[in-house]
Amino acid sequence: ALGVMLWGRLCDIMGSRNVLLLICLTSFLTIFLLNFSNHWLLAFTLLLIYSFVWTGRSIATQVLTANLVPKEKLASGMSLIYLPPRIMPVIGPLIGGIVISFLGYSNLFIMASLLFLLSTSLSFFMPNIRFKGGEKGRGTYLSLIRDNREFRSYLLSILLAVNMPMSILGPYLTLYLLEIGMSESTIGFTFSLNSISALIMQVPGGVLLDKKFSRREDRLKALRFFITLSLLSSLIKIIIYLASNPFLVFIAYASSGIIDGLTTGPSLSYQIEILSKDTVGMGIGLLRSASDTTTILGQLLGSLLLHVTKSIKELFPISIIFSIIGLIIYIKGGNKNNISSQSNGDNSLCNT
């Protein structure tokens, strides 16, 4: 939660390529040294460093993509660049399990470190992007939240309508689905269908936005529609869960996967559109940091409520309330705001 704020600001100051290079190089060293650690304290320290460094990967990638991809193809670019994070959690454990079974843990660490070394080498060939004004460290987190109304509305709506409800319910959702009569295999199939639906629809969502909405005013209206759709989908899904009907839950989860996929590229593109040239990294870092912090607070709140109420179903009303408040904040704030005067008028943001 704290690391992402640092990496976001460093993208504005150092350039996103340099940040990505630093992340890949440090990840290579920590994983490589982990292979030779013979004490739990050393292994813990290396993993702590790795976790801290790795938090900046997605931020540097998003900022770099935003400056390499033309404005009219930004949503498509974001949809494509974030396909691996959807695919690799499925493929990675399978490959890791096979390597451990046949070659052992030591060779797995060596292979992983070599992959990071390859990533480091490839990073050298990317142009370094540094926003104008970033060298001076212009702007603070406080001024960003205070001066950019649309960003403020978006930040609050995401935290309240998505992160908080899912954090409250997330740890207990599988248990709740078992309580309402879904079998373990059905739950597994439902979750898989959600991921597959999102994967299939992710690229079409970005391409649809870029092809249909080229004018800036129309594009911003479409982006706001996608954000509203995403927030509304989260609320409807929670309400359907409360109905305790396995079939409706199955349909809701599958449908939410489609909407998640469709809105991924537009949502990432929207984050760039509403931020100024020299605060893109800082803004994205703040979004991720606030999301991580809200996740921690939501899980603590969920466990406290469950301890008091002794019923998972009692967690849903408070989750619905948070979701409704977040949706209202965005509809009354973000949808009616003009993009801040700080925001970039085009996507030519960088000095290379």
Tally of CA atoms within 13 A in the half-sphere of 199 that contains its CB: 14
* CB-neighbour burial class of residue 196 (10 A; exposed 0-12, middle 13-18, buried 19+): middle
pLDDT score, position 128: 66
pLDDT at 242: 83
Question: What are phi and psi for residue 167, nearest 5 degrees?
Answer: -70, -35
Q: How many residues does the chain have?
A: 352
Cβ(76)–Cβ(207) below 8 Å: yes
Instruction: State the pLDDT confidence band at 347, using cuts at 50, 70 and 90.
Output: very low
Q: What's the whole-model pTM score? A: 0.82
pLDDT, position 3: 74
Q: Is 338 helix (H, G, I), strand (E, B) or coil?
A: coil
Q: Which are the contacts of 137, defined by CB distance < 8 A and separation ≥ 6?
A: 9, 12, 13
pLDDT at 296 over 80: yes
**Tens digits of per-residue pLDDT, 80-135?**
888 887 787 777 777 888 888 888 888 888 888 888 888 888 877 777 655 544 44
pLDDT at 68: 83
- Which residues lie below 8 Å from residue 150, measured CB to CB, with a gap of 6+? 274, 333, 334, 337, 338, 339, 340, 343
What local confidence, expressed as pLDDT, does residue 317 receive?
92
Q: Rounded to 5, what percent of the chain is helix, strand, coil?
A: 80, 0, 15
CA angle centred on 83, ends 192 and 275, rounded to 5°: 120
Comparison of pLDDT for 132 and 216, the residue scoring more: 216
pLDDT at site 129: 57
Give the lowest-confidence range in 157-171, 196-210, 231-245, 333-347. 333-347
Q: Phi and psi (nearest 5°) for 311?
A: -140, 125
Cβ atoms of 320 and 242 closer than 8 Å:
yes
Structure-model confidence comparison of residues 162 and 139, the more confident one: 162
CB 311 within 8 A of CB 305: no
pLDDT tens string 71-88: 788 899 898 888 887 787
DSSP state of 339: P
- How would residue 330 be classed by pLDDT, with cut points 50, 70 and 90? very high
The candidate with the shortest Cα–Cα distance to 47, out of 62, 27, 73, 24, is 27
DSSP for 260-307 reads HHHHHHHHHHHHHHTSBGGGHHHHHHHHHHHHHHHHHHHHHHHHHHHH
